[in-house]
Structures are given as structure tokens and as C-alpha cells.
Amino acid sequence: MDNTREDERQHAAERRRGELLEAADRVVLREGPGASMNAIAAEAGITKPILYRHFGDKGGLYRALAVRHTDALLDALRAALDAPSDRRERVEATLETYLAAIEARPQVYRFLMHPAEESPGSERGFAAGQHTAPLLRRLGEELAKVIAERLDLGPEGEELARVWGHGIVGMMHAAGDWWLREQPCDRKRLVRHLADLLWGRLAAAGDRMGGPGF
């Protein structure tokens, strides 16, 4: 009986946590990096101390939101990488998926990747920029795993896969950040240009197990 009650309490806490993250998402979509704990608590209809009780502090809430959005992005990237098409098309689909995601929700992207500016007389928003490196490292490691699984890169394969994984993520992040700010060309053209840049040794690497490869 005690275990049942504990399970019920845990499920209720997880459900409530999910509701609070939904409220935080709505504020982030409106305010971007300037989203504050006060605004999120108001959106959720609770006080700020209750919000702290669930997440510890601003950093805890930020990390929960980052995991939520990074998980969704990784699922979409894996789907693009596993699509039944040739390697060039998969590479373009992966780039397209990332760029479409940041274009569709630019305020979320800025919240995750850029620090908030402090305005006089107001609560400072999340200093999200300090968390950019861990997010990019996670994306880089996940992409490295996919590359290592799908490409035969020889005796230095593990090292090369990690270099490529982090290098590709860094390229996507830098190019996407610049593109989102300046919009120098449409998304399709940017995808093609970036895929052309990658199309060197990656195109020549052998496939494992004779499959279609990465």
C-alpha cells in the first residue's frame, strides 16, 4: 500500500513538473532569453517559491527545458539520419531538420543559446549562454555515435567520429546562428551550401556491413 501511494505521489509530481515546463515554454516563446522566474510562475498560476521547490533554481528549470528541447531535436535528427535515402540526401535532411527547428521557434533557440540582457529595474532573465557549450557537446557526442555506427572509418574510427560529430555540430550551430540573424539566403540554399562543404572525405568513407551507410 505504501509503495502504491509513493508511486501515485511520484506520478503526480512528474505530471505537475510537466505542466510547469509547458508554462515555461509559453513564456519562452513570448519573451525568449528574457524569460524570468517571475513571469513563468505567473504563467503557471503559482508563486516563485513553489517553482523553486520543483526545480531548485533558475539553472534547474533551464536545464529541464534544455533537456526537453534537446531530446526532441535529437529524435528528429536521428529520424533524418535513418531515412531510406542515399548519404547525400541524409546529410541534407539532417541539416534541414536542425535549421527548420531553429527557424520555427527562434525564441526558444535564443533562450537556449544566448544570454539574456539585463534591463534596469527588472529581474534578470536566464543567463542561458553559459549552458550553450554543454548542449552542443551533447549534440556532438550523439552525432558521433551515429557516425561511428554507420561508417567504416578504419582503425582511428572512434576518434574520427567524435571529431566529425563535434565539428559538424559546431558548423551547424555557427552557420545557423548567423543565418537566423541575417537571413542571407533561404534555408534550402543554406542546406545545399553546407552539404557541399561536408562533401569531402565523408562521401568517400566505406559503409559498414554493406548497407546504405550514414
| The three cell numbers locating residue 78 | 536521428
Q: Please indicate, yes or no, if residue 197 is contained in any of the structural domains.
A: yes
Q: Please indicate, yes or no, if residue 15 is contained in any of the structural domains.
A: no
CB neighbours of residue 44 within 10 Å: 20
Angle between helices 58-81 and 2-31 (to 10 degrees): 80
Q: Running DSSP on this structure, what letter comes out for residue 184?
A: -
Mean pLDDT of all residues in 29-43: 89
Boundaries of domain holding 206: 59-210
CB neighbours of residue 147 within 10 Å: 23
Mean pLDDT of all residues in 171-196: 95
pLDDT reported for residue 121: 42
Domain tally for the chain?
Answer: 1
Mean pLDDT of all residues in 37-60: 89
Q: Please indicate, yes or no, if residue 74 is contained in any of the structural domains.
A: yes
Sorted by sequence, the CB contacts under 8 Å of residue 119 that are 6+ apart come out as 34
Of 8 and 190, the one with more pLDDT: 190
pLDDT reported for residue 120: 42
Q: Please indicate, yes or no, if residue 114 is contained in any of the structural domains.
A: yes
For residue 210, report the phi and psi dihedrals to the nearest 5 degrees.
70, 15
pLDDT reported for residue 210: 59
> For 112-145, how does the pLDDT look when each residue is reduced to its tens digit (9 = 90+)?
887 554 444 445 555 545 567 788 888 899 889 9
DSSP assignment of 200-212 equals: THHHHSEEGGGS-
Whole-number Cα distances in Å, 178 to 1, 21, 102, 103, 190: 57, 28, 12, 12, 11
Provide, rounded to the nearest whole percent, the portion of the chain with pLDDT above 70. 85
Which of 66-70, 127-131, 150-154, 180-184 has the highest mean predicted lDDT (pLDDT)? 180-184
How many Å apart are CA 25 and CA 49, to the nearest integer?
19
Mean pLDDT of all residues in 68-96: 89
Residue 105 in 3-state DSSP? coil
Q: Please indicate, yes or no, if residue 28 is contained in any of the structural domains.
A: no
- The domain that contains 110 carries what CATH number? 1.10.357.10
Q: Average model confidence (pLDDT) for the chain?
A: 84
Query: Is the pLDDT reported for residue 188 higher than 90?
Result: yes
How many Å apart are CA 116 and CA 108, to the nearest integer?
12
Rg (CA), the chain: 20
pTM of the model: 0.79
Q: Please indicate, yes or no, if residue 9 is contained in any of the structural domains.
A: no
| The three cell numbers locating residue 203 | 562521401
Query: Is the pLDDT reported for residue 157 higher than 50?
Result: yes
Q: Please indicate, yes or no, if residue 35 is contained in any of the structural domains.
A: no
104: left (phi > 0), else alpha (psi -120 to 50), else beta?
alpha
CB–CB of 170/140 below 8 Å? yes
Q: Please indicate, yes or no, if residue 5 is contained in any of the structural domains.
A: no
Query: Is the pLDDT reported for residue 160 higher than 50?
Result: yes
